[in-house]
A and B are shown apart, each in its own frame.
Chain A
Amino acid sequence: MRTDLFIMALVAVLLSIVLGQLGFFDAARLTKGLQNMGILTWEMLPPDASVLPVAGEALWETVQMSFAGTMLGFLVSLPLSVLGTRHLFSAPVSNLSRLIAAGIRTVPVLLWAILFVILVGLGPLAGTLGVAAYTVGYLAKIYAELFEGTDPEIVEAVRGTGASRLHLVRFVVLPEGANAILTQLLFMLEYNIRASSILGFVGAGGVGFVMQVYLQTLEYRRLATVLLLILVVVLIMDGLSAWMRRRFLLTPQS
């Protein structure tokens, strides 16, 4: 108990020091920031609805990039994560697979977008590939850990029927992990829609480019319209994933 209190106090002290170094105790600066936030909010109102067609088209491109990128990344991450499952494949194979996933995960999505802009030029193709690469890194790790947690008794029972490794993946590992596979995929899609909205900043297509233009030309009322549109898309996605979870996931025994 005393040790727990000591650890909590230590964390609190460390947090205070870090916050101080980051400027969180600079009252003048924070007050100025609050004033600026008020001005910015005022300048955003009312949102300018005249940009709806342009913003809507750009946002649709972002949704397309996110959907295609997420699905492509998902398709690559599945075999990679199966190869990274230690109780199905030997240590050299699973370690190599995990190393590849870790390498991909090291690069943030914005940097992937820049790299693909260099490789395939400006536009949504670069953005889609960037989203796909980031998705591979993330999902391959999550899925490999998920597959490793498959109940060994089920694996033993089905292996005992003479099933091969491929059979085990198809009929045990994937169905047993179906819930988490779907949940993580939906989470990734939601995340990618938010993340892809800034890829246009580096020329990788989507609504980010429009946002960047409105920010640079100080057209905050137009920016507000774009942000509201993104909010609507995110809310629709939340509703859609909640419906999919209800429709497809395991439910407790009735």
Chain B
Amino acid sequence: MDSTDLALRAEGICFAYRGEEWVLKDISLSVPRGKATMIMGPSGSGKTTLMKVLAGILCPQRGRLEALSQEVGKRTRRSLYSLIGYIPQQLGLVRNLTSLENVLMGALGRCGHGKVMLGLFPRHEVEQAQAALDLMGIGDKSSEKVFRLSGGQRQRVAIARTLLQRPRVVLADEFVSDLDLALAAEILRLMRQVAEREQMTFVANMHEPQLVREFADQVLILDHGQIVRRFPTDGSQERSPSEVLQ
């Protein structure tokens, strides 16, 4: 596959937290543009660490990482931030701010330090933030503080924040793991619609094989910091993710 067709490409990535053993060992992967890639694996297999490395939050000690055909390094990391949206496991919402204010965080990368520091965002950004909340079906919760929202509503706020960022790639770390299956499927369906409409690449860590089967174009199985299986789920492989995991 041509490198311009890839949203992310990693070669020989190794990562260890300071003074500890390798968490990621020689990871190589390719994430095609505009597709949904799901990463599965048992707890402690290094999924969250891999996600943070791909998001540019953690810097690998070895290996090479390319995002949108640019090498991710100290110089390029900051410019890539606005192109790569990251939704952490606990969503990373500021509890004491309203839904709308949290969504507006997605626009900070292009807003400078003027009136924004007084909480006065440009009108078009506020309108777009409200539109993102409307799209997520929680437009009426825009002035509600996040700590008052339910789990599913918070999930939608986090997605709306990522949408306002207008990224080309969205990395989501088990962001629906706290929801029941039906709600998780609904959120993922919403995410897929948005990703298709905005031509976004979607990469997520996921535990639930049923959701992976329904939503993934590509599946990577991680174990002990290494990718042990990779396959598409479009029928070209016979085994399902759940069978491989077993």
**Chain B residues touching A, range:** 35 or more
Report if A161-B94 is in contact (Cβ < 8 Å); known contacts: A153-B88, A156-B57, A156-B88: no
List chain A residues, Cβ under 8 A from B145: 250
Interface positions, chain A 19-64, Cβ under 8 Å from B, are none
Would you call A154 an interface residue if the criterion is a C-beta within 8 Å of the partner chain's C-beta atoms? yes
Would you call B28 an interface residue if the criterion is a C-beta within 8 Å of the partner chain's C-beta atoms? no
- Measured CB to CB, the closest approach of chain A to B171, in angstroms, equals 9
Whether B113 and A164, one on each chain, are in contact in the complex, defined by CB atoms closer than 8 angstroms, is yes
Report if A156-B86 is in contact (Cβ < 8 Å); known contacts: A175-B97, A250-B95, A254-B148: yes
Report if A250-B94 is in contact (Cβ < 8 Å); known contacts: A162-B110, A167-B108: no
- Shortest Cβ distance from A155 into B: residue: B92
Q: Which of B77-85, B128-136, B204-212, B218-226 contacts A (4 or more CB under 8 A)?
A: B77-85
Whether A253 and B94, one on each chain, are in contact in the complex, defined by CB atoms closer than 8 angstroms, is no
Q: Mark A214-253, 1 if CB is under 8 A from B, else 0.
A: 0000000000000000000000000000000000001001
- Measured CB to CB, the closest approach of chain A to B153, in angstroms, equals 11
- Shortest Cβ distance from B101 into A: residue: A171
Interface positions, chain A 149-196, Cβ under 8 Å from B, are 151, 153-164, 166-167, 170-172, 175-176, 178-179
Q: How far, in whole Å, are A160 and B169 apart by their CA atoms in the complex?
A: 12
Whether B57 and A175, one on each chain, are in contact in the complex, defined by CB atoms closer than 8 angstroms, is no
Would you call B106 an interface residue if the criterion is a C-beta within 8 Å of the partner chain's C-beta atoms? yes
Whether A160 and B85, one on each chain, are in contact in the complex, defined by CB atoms closer than 8 angstroms, is yes
Q: How far, in whole Å, are A164 and B114 apart by their CA atoms in the complex?
A: 13
- Shortest Cβ distance from A171 into B: residue: B105
Whether A158 and B108, one on each chain, are in contact in the complex, defined by CB atoms closer than 8 angstroms, is yes
Report if A172-B94 is in contact (Cβ < 8 Å); known contacts: A156-B86, A254-B148: yes
Which residue of the partner chain, among B82, B88, B95, B110, contacts A157 with CB atoms under 8 Å? B88
Q: How far, in whole Å, are A156 and B145 apart by their CA atoms in the complex?
A: 20
Main secondary structure of the interface of B (DSSP, over half): mixed
Whether B90 and A161, one on each chain, are in contact in the complex, defined by CB atoms closer than 8 angstroms, is no
List chain B residues, Cβ under 8 A from A175: 94-97
Whether B161 and A161, one on each chain, are in contact in the complex, defined by CB atoms closer than 8 angstroms, is yes
Whether B86 and A171, one on each chain, are in contact in the complex, defined by CB atoms closer than 8 angstroms, is no
Report if A170-B105 is in contact (Cβ < 8 Å); known contacts: A160-B84, A254-B148: no
- Measured CB to CB, the closest approach of chain A to B99, in angstroms, equals 13
Would you call B147 an interface residue if the criterion is a C-beta within 8 Å of the partner chain's C-beta atoms? yes
Whether B92 and A156, one on each chain, are in contact in the complex, defined by CB atoms closer than 8 angstroms, is yes
List chain A residues, Cβ under 8 A from B107: 161
Which residue of the partner chain, among A160, A164, A166, contacts B55 with CB atoms under 8 Å? A160
Q: How far, in whole Å, are A175 and B94 apart by their CA atoms in the complex?
A: 7
Would you call B165 an interface residue if the criterion is a C-beta within 8 Å of the partner chain's C-beta atoms? yes
List chain B residues, Cβ under 8 A from A153: 88-90, 92
List chain A residues, Cβ under 8 A from B96: 175-176, 178-179, 250
Whether B147 and A250, one on each chain, are in contact in the complex, defined by CB atoms closer than 8 angstroms, is yes
Would you call B182 an interface residue if the criterion is a C-beta within 8 Å of the partner chain's C-beta atoms? no
Whether A160 and B89, one on each chain, are in contact in the complex, defined by CB atoms closer than 8 angstroms, is no
Whether A171 and B147, one on each chain, are in contact in the complex, defined by CB atoms closer than 8 angstroms, is no
Q: How far, in whole Å, are A164 and B107 apart by their CA atoms in the complex?
A: 12
List chain B residues, Cβ under 8 A from A179: 96
Q: How far, in whole Å, are A167 and B111 apart by their CA atoms in the complex?
A: 10
List chain A residues, Cβ under 8 A from B97: 171, 175
Q: How far, in whole Å, are A179 and B113 apart by their CA atoms in the complex?
A: 25
Whether A171 and B108, one on each chain, are in contact in the complex, defined by CB atoms closer than 8 angstroms, is yes
Interface centre among A157, A164, A170 (most CB of B within 10 A): A157
Q: How far, in whole Å, are A253 and B147 apart by their CA atoms in the complex?
A: 6
List chain B residues, Cβ under 8 A from A158: 92, 94, 105, 108
List chain B residues, Cβ under 8 A from A170: 117
Would you call B87 an interface residue if the criterion is a C-beta within 8 Å of the partner chain's C-beta atoms? yes
- Measured CB to CB, the closest approach of chain A to B54, in angstroms, equals 11
Whether B113 and A166, one on each chain, are in contact in the complex, defined by CB atoms closer than 8 angstroms, is yes
Whether A176 and B95, one on each chain, are in contact in the complex, defined by CB atoms closer than 8 angstroms, is yes
Q: A-side interface residues toward B, CB under 8 Å? A: 151, 153-164, 166-167, 170-172, 175-176, 178-179, 250, 253-254
Q: B-side interface residues toward A, CB under 8 Å? A: 52, 55-57, 78, 81-82, 84-97, 101, 105-110, 113, 116-117, 145, 147-148, 158, 161, 165
Give 15 A-B contacts (CB < 8 Å), ordered by A residue: A157-B87, A159-B57, A160-B55, A161-B105, A161-B108, A162-B78, A162-B165, A171-B94, A172-B94, A175-B96, A175-B97, A176-B95, A178-B96, A250-B145, A253-B147
In the A-B complex, the 8 residue pairs with the smallest Cβ-Cβ separation, listed nearest first, are A162-B109, A157-B92, A163-B108, A160-B86, A162-B82, A162-B81, A175-B96, A153-B88
